[in-house]
């Protein structure tokens, strides 16, 4: 293999942080529950390396419930300004408690309070109810540090496939596919 897919991702991600005007760390996360019904949404990449790609969420959200039923997912980075995409597929597992606690501590206080106040993905009868719950959490924690809610954690996707897509004229795109094998990674090309 000529290129390490994680080194290539690092290069592309660094270029996206400079060249993509909005949220270079935004990625589409696709999950499916036991029933196989797919669901996709945007989340933020919060860590990456050879051990995987990390994001955080409410475990009681639709994505959290689907990941509990079917711990496999796909990610898609689309850096339109750079005319590039990266598609990643693999198995998911939760990050450790200490890692989730450490990341939660870096979030803004408002985001921390929101994690306590929100029943993410569940029906909400009114915006006022959510804002009231937020204020209740603000009063509950006062000026104290806010601990991570027990229903909020991180997940790591361990890739088995990583595809790097580059836009080319006349839809003659370049697609490089890295597939995990027992011995490491195999690299190949796909037709556009």
Q: Give the residue numbers marked as catalytic.
A: 171
As to burial, measured by CB atoms within 10 angstroms (0-12 exposed, 13-18 middle, 19+ buried), residue 180 is middle
The CA-CA-CA angle for residues 159, 163, 169, to 5°, reads 165
Tokens standing for residue 144: 């104290």
The dihedral through the CA atoms of 27, 33, 39, 43 has a sign that is negative
Neighbour-count burial for 93-106, b at 16+ CB within 10 Å, e otherwise? ebbeeebbeebbee
Residue 158: count other Cβ atoms within 10 Å of its Cβ: 16
Neighbour-count burial for 116-133, b at 16+ CB within 10 Å, e otherwise? bbbebbeeeeeeeeeeeb
């Amino acid at each position: 293999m000529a290129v390490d897919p994680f080194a290539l991702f690092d290069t592309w991600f660094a270029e996206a942080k400079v060249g993509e005007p909005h949220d270079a760390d935004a990625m589409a996360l696709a999950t499916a529950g036991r029933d196989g019904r797919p669901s996709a949404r945007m989340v933020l990449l919060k860590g990456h390396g050879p051990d995987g790609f990390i994001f955080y969420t409410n475990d009681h959200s639709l994505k959290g419930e689907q990941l509990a039923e079917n711990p496999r997912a796909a990610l898609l980075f689309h850096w339109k300004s750079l005319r590039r995409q990266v598609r990643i597929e693999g198995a998911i597992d939760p990050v450790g408690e200490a890692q989730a606690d450490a990341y939660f501590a870096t979030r803004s206080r408002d985001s921390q309070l929101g994690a306590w106040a929100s029943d993410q993905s569940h029906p909400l009868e009114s915006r006022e109810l959510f804002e009231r719950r937020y204020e209740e959490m603000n009063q509950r924690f006062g000026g104290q540090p806010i601990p991570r809610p027990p229903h909020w954690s991180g997940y790591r996707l361990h890739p088995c496939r990583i595809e790097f897509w580059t836009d080319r004229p006349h839809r003659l795109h370049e697609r490089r596919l890295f597939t995990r094998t027992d011995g490491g990674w195999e690299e190949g090309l796909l037709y556009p």
